[in-house]
Amino acid sequence: MIRKISPLLFLFFALIFICDLSATPISEPGMVNPEGIRELSWKGWFTIGILVVMFVALIREIKPPDIVMLVAAGVLAVTGIISPRQLLIGFSSDVIVTIALLCVVVRTWEVNGLLNTFSQHVLPKTTHYFKQMMGILVPVATLSAFMNNTVIVLMMTPVLRKYALSLKKSPSKYLIPLSYASIVGGFCTLIGTSTNLIIDGLLRQQNPTAGFSFFELGYVGLPIAIISLFVIIGVGKYFLPDRVDVATAVAEETKEFTGEFIVSEECPLVNRTIKEVSGRYFRGELLVEIERDKRKITSPAPFEVILEGDRLVFAGDINQIAELHAVKGLKSAADPHFKLDVGSSHFSEVVISANSFLVGKTLKTINFRNNYGASVMAVYRDGNRIMGNVGDIILDAGDTLVLLSSEEWKGERFKRDFYYIHADEKLTIFHPWRAGMVLAIAVGMVVLAWLGLPIFLSVAAATLLYVFTKSITIREAQRSIIWNVLLLIASSFAVAKAVEVTGVAAYFAQILLTIFGTNPFLLAGGVLLVVSLFSQVLSNNTAALLLFPIALNVAHLAGYTSFESLKSVGVMVAVGSSCAFMLPTGYQTHMIVYGPGGYHLTDFLKNGVILNFLIILIGMALIPLIWPLS
């Protein structure tokens, strides 16, 4: 586990060692001699001991971070370091509620197909590397300014991997830039990262009027994002590896699903060309075949006219095929009477077991939809789809069934009949009218926050509208909330309060002031550097909560106590805590792309060190100018 111990831990012990060298530190040119250093009480040293144990537990991953933080907070409360009221300060914060509601907002965008549609349309057609990357990273960074970047990276990773392989290029050239771009976009708005919301809450605890406006962080965040995107692309072109074997990876990609649909009289596709309806009802390239009067038209041309009674064969991923159920008058050839609720659609893939009741029978004879609560969209045998009417296929053990249902499929009731190979999954069905409404509510949320309505109220209003309009179900909303993250943040508030009330924050602030001096730009650089180092091994939220009181004490000891100085410290900690590019463990999005990109630790080090220190330099130059320390 030695490799997991970062320079941060050595810095931590070094600071304690420096504290004990002398009660009166030697004054050096340009440095401040912090006279009258007060020795810490037993509570202060006990808190430092708890912090050291907590850091080791987090780095060695002994228990999940939320449990480690909760135990640390509990010990501090039981020993009287903090009061019960201080223990619960995080749980009663509107920051926690805001983050929980934002989880619901983002999940609503996801289940209504907005993110899936975004990921499918963001990929550029050009083969020029710089234009490709700008075409991908600019939209990703822009979107991450308004939503959880983890969701974006989860959505984009398989899409971008497939895109790279289609160009006969290694996905490793694309996925680290994806993760980095999603982080730098979050610098630009109040809701760009949960850390920004946490710092906003901490500032308001100090002064109710000291919080950030919605786009205020963009004054420093936008220059950081723009410069960073150019650096990410430039550095990545030369330092990112070609490690994934393209030929092997292409063979391992997931198979496409196919779906057959009958065009009825009421369908809006009737008597219109593929080119006319492409983009509005489906992507033209998904339509691979038209069967008309027992004649097959393979790879139909854009000007081919769709007629009533045509049997259309589509090929794509399961979401794209499922979306076609939302087109009026387009009936599934496999199950014409099946109606999919586009707001609550589920997909499962199962294999028929040897002892299954289905073996030797057809779907029609056993009335599958009524008895099993789902509709079979396709049957695969030996990896190939069985063509023809699904209801008439005689089923055999080992056959794979692709199931769609309008509610969560209760597959556990049929364990005797099936093996799961793809457990029940909520589909993201894009319905133009519903998606437009969801997007309009999101825009309204941003506008209200921009006009000055507290972010908690604007997010709460959007969430209530989503539930009221049935854009998301109550159950789905509850499941979307990431409870372990909320527990981690709430517990971190209590630990941070202990750092403040025991004098530990002031103690280490004196040391940092001795190292970096009182010059506003050097002080900003020092705070950004220390917070960034902590963020490489701790979650950015934890780093922000623990280091904000220390950074604030540094500013106060240097004589910077004005309103603008308070906000300046907040921006430093917010930027520094999200500046975690050097280790794959530094940010959750790095871990998402780590495996699919075939990366090594050194890949993040080579690319991340440059970006990390560049952002520190930009922040060091801009933050004291925009929010002067005075």
pLDDT tens string 453-497: 888 898 899 999 999 998 888 888 888 887 888 888 888 888 888
Q: Is the pLDDT of residue 13 over 50?
A: no
Residue 612's pLDDT band (cuts 50, 70, 90):
very high
Q: Quick one: pLDDT at residue 478?
A: 86
Residue 163's pLDDT band (cuts 50, 70, 90):
confident
Q: What's the rounded Cα separation, in Å, for the pair 453 and 79?
A: 40
> Rounded to the nearest 10 degrees, what angle do helices 601-626 and 520-537 cross at?
150
Q: Quick one: pLDDT at residue 301?
A: 85
Lowest mean pLDDT among 76-80, 172-176, 342-346, 550-554: 342-346
What average pLDDT does the chain have? 80
Strands (E) across 139-267 are located at 257-263
Which ranges in 307-419 belong to alpha helices (H)?
318-323, 368-372
Comparing 257 with 593, the larger pLDDT belongs to: 593
Q: Quick one: pLDDT at residue 218?
A: 92
User: Could you report the per-residue pLDDT of 64-78, keeping only the tens digit for each?
Assistant: 888 888 899 999 999
Q: Quick one: pLDDT at residue 428?
A: 58
Q: Is the pLDDT of residue 591 over 80?
A: no
Residue 231's pLDDT band (cuts 50, 70, 90):
very high
User: Could you report the per-residue pLDDT of 432-441, keeping only the tens digit for each?
Assistant: 778 888 889 9
Annotation: CATH topology of 257-426: Alpha-Beta Plaits (3.30.70)
Q: What's the rounded Cα separation, in Å, for the pair 35 and 23?
A: 9
Helix (H, G, I), strand (E, B) or coil at 423: strand
Q: What's the rounded Cα separation, in Å, for the pair 225 and 137?
A: 10
Q: Is the pLDDT of residue 320 over 80?
A: no
Q: Please list, in sequence order, all residues whose beta carbon lies within 8 angstroms of the beta carbon of residue 376, skipping any fewer than 6 positions away.
A: 334, 335, 363, 368, 390, 401, 402, 403
504-510 average pLDDT score: 82
Amino acid identity of 203?
L
Q: Is the pLDDT of residue 542 over 90?
A: no
Q: What's the rounded Cα separation, in Å, for the pair 185 and 192?
A: 7
pTM score: 0.70
Residue 127's pLDDT band (cuts 50, 70, 90):
confident
Q: Quick one: pLDDT at residue 126?
A: 79
Q: Match 């033209």 to its residue by tokens.
A: 284
User: Could you report the per-residue pLDDT of 262-293, keeping only the tens digit for each?
Assistant: 898 888 888 988 888 887 777 766 788 888 88
The b-or-e profile of 493-530 (16+ CB within 10 A means b, else e) is bbbbbbbbbbbbbbbbbbbbbbebbbebbebbbbbbbb
Q: Is the pLDDT of residue 341 over 70?
A: no
Query: Alpha carbon of 459 to those of 78, 113, 166, 178, 584: distances in Å?
Result: 35, 20, 39, 27, 31
Q: Is the pLDDT of residue 1 over 70?
A: no
Secondary structure of 569-593 in HEC code, one letter for each residue: HHHHHHHHHCCCCCCHHHCHHHHHH
The b-or-e profile of 171-200 (16+ CB within 10 A means b, else e) is bbbbbbbbbbbbbbbbbbbbbbbbbbbbbb
Query: Alpha carbon of 280 to those of 82, 93, 139, 312, 333: distances in Å?
Result: 59, 44, 21, 16, 22
Q: What's the rounded Cα separation, in Å, for the pair 209 and 148?
A: 26
Percent of the chain residues topping a pLDDT of 90: 16
Which ranges in 470-600 belong to alpha helices (H)?
474-480, 483-501, 504-516, 520-537, 540-557, 563-577, 588-594
Q: Quick one: pLDDT at residue 610?
A: 92
125-133 average pLDDT score: 84
**What are the backbone angles phi and psi of residue 332, rounded to the nearest 5°?**
-65, 125
Comparing 126 with 24, the larger pLDDT belongs to: 126
Q: Quick one: pLDDT at residue 621?
A: 94
Comparing 471 with 349, the larger pLDDT belongs to: 471
Tokens standing for residue 285: 């390239």
Q: What's the rounded Cα separation, in Å, for the pair 389 and 384?
A: 15
Q: Quick one: pLDDT at residue 57?
A: 84
Residue 3's pLDDT band (cuts 50, 70, 90):
very low
Q: What's the rounded Cα separation, in Å, for the pair 529 and 581?
A: 13
Q: What's the rounded Cα separation, in Å, for the pair 139 and 499?
A: 40
350-354 average pLDDT score: 79
